[in-house]
Amino acid sequence: MTELDFTSAADQARLVAAGTVSSAELTAHALDRIHRLDPRLNAFVDVLDEAALAEAADRDATPASERGPLHGVPIAIKNENDVAGLPTAYGGAAFTTPAARDGEIVRRLRGAGAVIIGTTRMPEFGIWPYTETSANGYTRNPWNPLRSTAGSSGGTAAAVASGMVAAGIGGDGGGSIRLPSSWCGLFGLKCQRGRTSASPATHLWRSLGVIGPLTRTVEDSALIYDVLAGSLPTDAWVADPLPQTLTQAYHSDVRPLRIAVTHRGGVRGLNADDETLTALHATADALRALGHVVTETDPPFPTIALPFTVQVAAGVADEAARADHPELLEHRTRTLLRLTAPLRGRVAWAEQHSIALGRRFADAFFSQFDLILMPTTASPAVAIGQLDGLGALAASQRSTKESGFTAIWNVLGNPAAAIPSGFSRDGLPLSVQLVGGPNAEPDLIRVSAQLERTRPWADRRPPIS
């Protein structure tokens, strides 16, 4: 079964549809890899051995006419999404009551034929850009186990990058899909605000958060987003419908686009390291060679620190209020909740201000350019243990550097993709971020697919794989 190692989710679905491999064989293969690799990486919270194999057997018994686009494909779920029968623990130890039913994202995946294979680790409530907790220790990067996976979807990133699964679900409230994708060599698209449902919650960190996949290929991301897309009446945010599916966009031609290149992010004074900037310029050159008009510029990024902080504070408080055992929340979390309590009364203003900032920036900038090319992170993966000995304030200050290029797009609401852009001298993945105007996911998928074809990355395997 080793020929299934690192097979994409789309290819796995095609193999099952052709009868070349069964869902049961795919699931057993994934479970074998999880049990061999996860002791070294600590990517999973719960592994659903018996339930996943039973679900796979049901998939194999389903008539071909009733099969969905992900039929038989094992997928991992970040531990902030409800999976029936498992506690939705948000990365910590304070939640013990199993979810009564699947959340909407998991329900749609099962409806498309996916096999839910387990839940993945995250920092408590996704607060920090490092997947480290007092309860569960470090999640380690398969490219170097002494380096961080980033966060908050770090468990999903480690599982996908190491080939335990072809794809997994993450969430992004300040970069939490894009940061782990950057440090683990994956493709990670944060969709437009309101593109996917947060149900049974009405939102994920107020107007900041979205739910979406981390994958090794652009096609897989498009395929999974086509399954997940669409809001419910209970969702606080609703994106405009797209003119085509993202799978259609993936297979369609690309018109020449106006692409702005910048070294700047949403945090003044933040600079990316030399290797990251070299990879950024190489990607810009590749886009020029593909026929795009690429211009270096200095976008008029708005100041987003206050609306971002207010919404994070309110989002964490919303989730912490559901804890079965609040006394088991991390000390940093309890301190953060206490220190930010005065801010939470401004959350309605922060939501409205974020939307207004997004509209103004789109009118001012995306009328002149189609996309922005910028770093995803300031450097390759840093060492594990970033939170060791730090209180809430020191951890927040350190975290600002990691999310300095990504959090602005959560505030403004724009879609943004982390795209692998090479490797550092130490063999660690590098990444660029491609950002679109409102509802520009099709352009992001098309251009990302161009880069994937000209500068392929999915064939590279990390040492722990």
List residues with catalytic annotation.
Answer: 78, 152, 176
Helix/strand/coil (H, E, C) string of the chain? CHHHCCCCHHHHHHHHHHCCCCHHHHHHHHHHHHHHHHHHHCCEEEECHHHHHHHHHHHHCCCHHHCCCCCCCEEEEECCCCCECCECCCCCCCCCCEECCCCHHHHHHHHCCCEEEEEECCCHHHCCCCCEECCCEECEECCEEEEECCCCCHHHHHHHHCCCCCEEEEEECCCCCHHHHHHHCCEEEECCCCCECCCCCCCCCCCCCEEEEEECCHHHHHHHHHHHECCCCCCCCCCCCCCCCHHHHHCCCCCCCEEEECCCCCCCCCCCCHHHHHHHHHHHHHHHHCCCEEEECCCCCCCCHHHHHHHHHHHHHHHHCCCCCHHHCCHHHHHHHHHHHHHHHHHHHHHHHHHHHHHHHHHHCCCCCCEEEEECCCCCCCECCCCCCCCHHHHHHHHHHHCCCCHHHHHHCCCEEEEEEEECCCCCEEEEEEEECCCCHHHHHHHHHHHHHHCCCCCCCCCCC
